[in-house]
Structure 1
């Protein structure tokens, strides 16, 4: 057992995910979720030693701090104070200022605050978690790990938008990309599976979940990714539209739609939910498709087609390919979706290993296909973003 535990916090606008991670083994002795912040039914639930617990958070405000207080109580009861060495915070947007994880001080807090316009739903919530944790654990070093940091190695040709340069210079409008900790983790694990140095490895990492993105990784570094200035771009997702003709926004505004209505629809009523009319969850879509629901079948077809298109297009960013990596809730578990994506990649020579694909689910990694033409394989690797955050904290200490 390691002597180094890190409390990992992922603070959202109305939620707070947390885990107590062993920085060496990756084992989580405590996991939990605070949700419905700002509402009367705000609550926090956690799993400790295999047992589930839940309690309500009183009042209608200050729920981030109240959740942290509950977490402090749990940690104290666990009597691990002598092994708890740091608090690690997931911060969604680091802009161009934060190209790697950093120890949090007032200057870092000011920097995160200055770029909150780039992620108005996420960065202010991340800061609430940081302030609450700093008040609760004043003696512990605290670190910020940025979703965007891994993608700061993208070349200008990949991150530059084809718009007036002044929009980049004045407002920082460019491609930033997200899911960086996930793409970083699975690419390192893939290199280990292939027994190849990561800085000599080329991958296309496919993170498929309620949020979804693809990343081209050349010699271990991100060189392109599908999410853009915000997490709305790229692939079709659970409720997000992904790539969209911006002229549609102007068209809807002329039809009388407000800005809030448009972006609420694009962020919360599109993707699987919008196309299927059934569910934002891939499992619900697959179930409806099996029952003959036409909208669900269309959602399945659009999603798998778009993922395959991105994978194929990212060969342009690489000079060779070692593996396509599937990860995230859908990527790790959905056999039908992976199977259809591989079928769409038939021109690239991928042949599915049916048994391997069936076995690589529910926490199991494995090889699911091979392309003799490209000299590449398709892998499934469960992601572990919390471990990346914990290890970054310990390394920075």
Structure 2
């Protein structure tokens, strides 16, 4: 018996060693060994340099010494894993590819202020050597004055922002917000709660409208400087000043994804609405779930026509079972929209679902929200919380989308 146990243990140990060796070979074969510089020339990829730059960003952002090792190990491990999955040893990343992966990984760990520090440390500053002028746009000053900063043309004061729910409970509060005197309290509340970056109560939290509008207008102007959009450096400065003045005086405003992402992410998602498509197969449906969720994460909304999906009365190929139908899949899509906070904030995602008037499930589609609303009323009458995020409406489907019926010209003429 003893000899048998020993033999079995040795076999297991040998198997573990074999698996470990195989894993080491796999990691070596799929690891990143080279990186392309800006010049296009390859150079050896040195993991220690990457780790050192992340550590520098963590320290610059004020991460405490006791937390440094934990964050450093987590971030570098995730970066290594993402690089391995993305480039799998068969393609060579550029320095920009690595920079983007590191930045997105840091942001995914809710360390936006560290991501900023990393970008400042790794980025090439906009200067005379990187600016392109000569064939771009020219601008004249309309609202601003040469040599006077747009922010200096306004009177400023400090205020507090506070938002309560329908029961009077405080759901957001921030003190010491620097704002123009002309701004309403509602504007201060909404902007501070929705668009300021960083965790409330921490040094990295934005606390001034100058910070918010400055990061957007300067980032956009810097893009133009680097990509040759302006005829001269003076035109670039006029553009930045005029845009800043327009925004700080509330004469115009960008959509939410711009405020969420510009000046924060290296490649920000700036569009508010995306139209998606879906095909009548499970892979495409699940891909739509992923696409919509990632768009919601960055603060954008989506719209999808589900008419390509077969109806709930049609059979599945090769079986006697029937399809779930578009309304059934809408439940899952609606749930993701309710779960994923738009732009990482407290609001829910914006979503539109469309079905053609001639789809066999059109009546079911038109009635689905009404039926769910009746369920919610029953729960409210039973004493459940009726607020937007309460138990009553949180227990029923189709609360996160606008349903629209798509009709043809022939349909409308028939109605006439």
TM range (shorter): under 0.3
User: What TM-score results when the alignment is normalised by the length of structure 2?
Assistant: 0.26
Task: Name the structure, 1 or 2, with higher relative contact order (CA <8 Å, separation 6+).
Answer: 1
Structure that is richer in helix per residue: 2
Q: TM-score, normalised by structure 1?
A: 0.26
Structure number with the higher strand fraction is 1
Larger radius of gyration: 2
